[in-house]
Amino acid sequence: MTGMLAGRMLADHYEKVTIVERDQFPVEPGFRKGVPQAPHIHVLLVRGQQLLNELFPGLDAALAEASAPTVNWGTESINVPGGIRLPCFESEMITRTCSRNLLEWHVRRRVAEFTNITMREKCRVEGLVMDPAGERVAGIRVYSGDVGDDGKMATEIWEADLVIDTSGRHSQTPKWMQEYGYDAPQETIVNSFLGYATQWYKTPEDFEADWKAILISGRPPDNPRYGGIYPIENNQWIVTLAGIGGIYPPTDDQEAFLGFARQLANPLIYQALNRAEPISPIHGFRNTANRWRHYEKLDRWPTNFIVMGDAFCTFNPAYGQGMTVSALSAVALDHHLRTHRSVDAPRLQKDLARASKNVWRLATGEDLRWETTEADASALGFTTRLAHRYVEKVRLVYQSNSNAARIFFEIAHLIRPPAQLFHPTLLGGVLKQVLSDLIGRKTEQA
């Protein structure tokens, strides 16, 4: 997704844009090897949907035609953090929900409509090509799928004025840069050891409820289980169950899958699944660590080369932030090119880091609530512990205050910045709790 959105932005600034893809694209929406997470829930946050609709006019109408439903996250979803159901709230937080396969297929169709964009399928990038001075990335070395006279796949050199790595979690850029004498980036890793399992269901024909989607969160420290029901096209549900700290949902047994759902902090998902028909195998995924490769901090960096998306900053995918951050990064790329007319690679890498910083704090802040999470000592300092105590107080506020719940969810959907956690509605509620606690303790002492 990052590669397609970056390509879409580059098309406004360059005569020719080439998107290189290892897979062969499916003719219709479908799974492909390069997206191992595709079977699982892919939430497009409200801010992400706004940006995609701006970049691709008509996208929402196309998804509607493909029977992708809508969900109002204030009035049509049930949100249960830590076992307590949040109050509904009036909002315009509405997104079109669908499978990753359907969304990617429609985005790819619109990218392909740009006459100056070429998509090269079944091509594997094997490395970077530097200029003789070793200061500029001049192109890439590619296995293009063609077979040479010796019967082996031929390697080609593709020259470029700008190269962007959007190859995802398994990016080879650190290794390639070291081959040319550059330092590998410092990495920050926060790993909650979350794993999840997903199964698709047919929505029961006679199913009636006051919700379209359900999200149930764990409760530190005693219940590390999460779950979600997400409505998609063709009257189907995607159901994802997750566990933190190595408490993984099963992937090989239907009854055990339902048993895990039964242990969630709220029984709603288990009750719904008992009435629904599974229509897919159970798919698992456990590569969920947050990882930031700090390219923006390197003193030396080649010109004409950028790293974007999961290739430089990967979030725990359970929080559904990845595609929205891809869109925000593409906007940052476009803004940089419009401002500077050409790529200042070190500056742009810093711009991309700023576009990811707030989301990184949200994702890692949630993971760091669990004692089983592994992270650098710097991530577990006094400031982090203080922030956790404050957010726990905020949770108590929005569990009984619909306006506070709306503000919190607007932060989660990236409509508001994280600084809005100190919105007067939230801060005032926290201060009332602190004052009440102090009075209570003084009364007990007396």
pLDDT of residue 74: 94
Using the predicted structure, report yes or no on whether residue 438 has a pLDDT greater than 80.
no
Reported as a single tens digit per residue, the pLDDT across 59-69 is 999 999 999 99
Residue type, 230: Y
d(CA 319, CA 327): 16
Which one, of 90, 55, 85, lies nearest residue 72 by Cα? 90
pLDDT at 270 over 70: yes
Token pair listed for 434: 């602190």
The encoded tokens of residue 118 equal 């070429």
The DSSP letter of residue 428 is H
What is the CB neighbour count within 10 angstroms for residue 5?
27
Tell how strand 195-202 and strand 236-243 pair up: antiparallel
Report the half-sphere exposure of 150 (CA within 13 A, side-chain side).
4
Task: Please state, in angstroms and rounded to a whole number, the distance separating the CA atoms of residues 239 and 45.
Answer: 18
Q: DSSP letters along 351-371, please?
A: HHHHHHHHHHHHHHHHHTTST
Which domains, and CATH codes, for the chain?
A: 23-113+193-285 (3.50.50.60), 122-189+289-367 (3.50.50.60), 381-445 (no CATH)
Indicate if the pLDDT at residue 445 is higher than 70. Answer: no
DSSP state of 136: B
**How many CA atoms, within 13 angstroms, populate the side-chain half-sphere of residue 195?**
14
* 381-402: burial string, b at 16+ Cβ within 10 Å, e else: eeebeeebebbebbbebbeebe
Going by pLDDT thresholds of 50, 70 and 90, the confidence category of residue 222 is confident
Closest CA to 66 of 108, 45, 39, 96: 96
**pLDDT recorded at residue 384:** 75
pLDDT tens digits along 178-216: 999 999 999 999 999 999 999 999 999 888 899 999 999
User: Measuring CA to CA, how many Å separate 323 from each of 2, 37, 111?
Assistant: 7, 12, 16
**Nearest-angstrom CA–CA distance, 64 and 71:** 12
Contact (CB, 8 A) for 232 and 199: no
In this structure, what token pair is assigned to residue 263?
């242990």
pLDDT tens-digit readout, 333-390 = 999 999 987 899 999 999 999 999 989 988 898 898 899 999 987 676 677 778 878 8
As to burial, measured by CB atoms within 10 angstroms (0-12 exposed, 13-18 middle, 19+ buried), residue 263 is: middle
What average pLDDT score do residues 287-298 get? 95
Q: Which of these ranges, 70-74, 86-90, 211-215, has the smallest mean pLDDT? A: 86-90
Does residue 151 surpass a pLDDT of 80? no
Please tell me the predicted confidence (pLDDT) of residue 380: 67
Please state, for a pLDDT cut of 90, what percent of the chain lies above it.
Answer: 75
Burial class from Cβ neighbours inside 10 Å (0-12, 13-18, 19+) for residue 41 reads buried
Q: Is a pLDDT exceeding 70 seen at residue 412?
A: yes
* Strand intervals (E) in 82-134: 94-96, 117-120, 124-130
Apex CA 20: angle with CA 50 and CA 355, to 5°? 35
Supply the DSSP string of 56-68, one letter for each residue: STTHHHHHHHTT-
| DSSP calls for 308-331 | -GGGTEE--GGG--HHHHHHHHHH
What's the pLDDT score for residue 439? 74
At residue 36, the pLDDT reads 87
Q: What is the mean pLDDT of residues 240-261?
A: 96
247 near 193, Cβ under 8 Å? no
pLDDT of residue 72: 97
Whole-number mean pLDDT of the chain?
Answer: 92
C-alpha triplet 424, 220, 394: angle, nearest 5° = 5
Query: pLDDT grade, residue 442 (50/70/90)?
Result: low
Copy the structure tokens of residue 95: 């997104």
